[in-house]
Structure 1
């Protein structure tokens, strides 16, 4: 078993698939531009030629710095090497103590933009999945793991895609929302409902752990753990938002 070799093979296959898409589109553009000159098509051609050079040099398209306009221009191609990549290193139970060392052995692949890696033991995870929640939590603590492989995969994926989760709660339901990092409270309100964004007054904010400790919003207010934030507040992962608005 050679993880580095396997990663190189996957990288090559994905790059070749993207290169084929680029070549096909460049061929079509060449025909179109012979018929008429078009600045937008020329811009697309120049951008795709940059993509081709990047792929031919062994560089994934996720490492290519693009402007928002250029990003929009190539979005429809759904390039595989433009997407974030999370590498899962499946190890044996007897290798759990060496997990960090094994991850370091592939750092030349993972210490690059848009990449990440976690180590897991699929056999062990299957055993954990058959336990009751309390037993599973105790087992993970004994193994020195922060959570199940699924939980760690979700967290790593969110980090790679620059996403955060915030929560809203009321008498009827509690809901989790996914938002890009850097989302303001004002924009988050709009994700919940357009009326909230239009009539935004303020957001009452508390971390979900603090809210659980307090037991209710009322108790959180009493203990001074509920913060008042304005439109420009940057929503943090794990925030619980109570939006005040008027329309």
Structure 2
């Protein structure tokens, strides 16, 4: 899958720093690691290697965050989202793979930027959105996760309009990410994409940096107020959307 003998020496410096930063964001908000790390590490490693590797790392990270805050998970929201999310997985496999990648990334990026800017400018949740928004959020989040591995921004957009408690917001998003990552890991394993020593080796090498990032992100999360948490998620959504816009253009 990759030739370890010809890897850039810079990778050994860049990869730990990128992973620490990506999982600091994940530890703070419950999502965002894949969207941050894959575009940066793709300068050194093939995407076909990075995507299954990040699925394994995200699965471990989401279990860590979700288990440590499982008492805060909104089970009502999970009951609404998870069944429809699996329909979204099927939708992504059967339909979105046929859509040109550039326009799809551009549309998702524009939507995410708009929602992120709104969250920055309006950090106080005055009125919760309708539960019916869970249907398009779960469908789109599941489909986007299948194609890009980046369903987190969609789940965060919906849940930030439903949950007032920052701990519930983070724990519920990370639980959805863990379910999504576990499902995709099974698909990748069946397809033989995980059965490579280089992927398992990469997971072992990067795991300590994932743990460090999660610890830093958790400390930041604890120190944030409700409004600061919502603004932080707004900033993350804006950066995520901008990244997708740039990738769609380039």
TM bucket normalised to smaller: under 0.3
> Which of structures 1 and 2 has the larger relative contact order (alpha carbons within 8 angstroms, sep 6+)?
2
Q: Quick check: which one's strand share is greater?
A: 1
In terms of Rg, which structure is larger?
1
TM-score after normalising by structure 1: 0.22
The structure whose residues are more often helix, as a share, is: 2
TM-score of the superposed pair, with normalisation by structure 2: 0.21
